[in-house]
Amino acid sequence: MDDHFLIIGLGNPGPEYADTRHNIGFMCLDCLQKKIVSPSSFKYTNEYQAEIAEGKLAGVSVRLVKPQTFMNLSGKTARALLADFPLTEPAKVIIVHDDLDLPLGRIKLKSGGGSGGHNGIKSLIEELGWADFMRLRLGISGASRSPDTIDYVLSPFQDGEEKIVSEVIEKSVAGLILVLTSGVTAAMNQINRRVVEPS
């Protein structure tokens, strides 16, 4: 594949984690995969310890990646992929992940920064040795937030939150496509002011 975008959704493998808050990155990529022209389904590749789908989105080559290493080892997949398929610029690596510091319904696109306490982002920074990748942060903090962070991020969304999650994923997919077609600045201008309000 020619120079492309690498879009990595963060989450944990296994059916027991499928609908949890920590896996909203996976949910977003599942939706994005359906937009690929001549789509390939997600297929597990042992070499990268990831499920990967590839093709074109809005005429741009993309690899969609769901690491199967568990969240705190996500960087191993990214490092292996970039060793075999190097990119011309860090901004062509986009990480889609949950963010406990943002309320459910809030979406934010940013470049670089620290881990913010997110183990998946921490792993990426440690394994890659740089932090200039793009992050699409999807808020997961709802009214039911528990003081126990681990229990909360590994809990499923509540019935009343499902509509908001669906809208967040739809807007996130549209935002990612905008990054590919119009660039990061244009996408930020759209994404960072989009808030899905609870009904």
What is the model's pLDDT at position 171?
93
- Give the residues across from 44 on adjacent strands: 51
Two structure tokens written together for 30: 């599942």
CATH architecture of 5-191: 3-Layer(aba) Sandwich (3.40)
Q: What's the number of CA atoms in the CB half-sphere (13 Å) around residue 151?
A: 5
Instruction: Sketch the domain layout of the chain as residue ranges.
Output: 5-191
Percent of the chain with pLDDT over 90: 77
7 Cβ neighbours under 8 A, 6+ residues apart: 29, 32, 62, 63, 64, 65, 94, 96, 176
What is the model's pLDDT at position 2?
58
Q: Could you tell me the pLDDT band of residue 198, with boundaries at 50, 70 and 90?
A: low
Catalytic residue among 4, 22, 97, 118: 22
Residue corresponding to tokens 């809005």? 58
Q: Could you tell me the pLDDT band of residue 147, with boundaries at 50, 70 and 90?
A: confident
Mean pLDDT in residue range 99-114: 94
What is the model's pLDDT at position 41?
87
Q: Is 118 a catalytic residue?
A: no
118 Cβ neighbours under 8 A, 6+ residues apart: 97, 98, 99, 100
pLDDT at 39 over 60: yes
Query: Furthest-apart CA pair in the chain: how many Å?
Result: 46
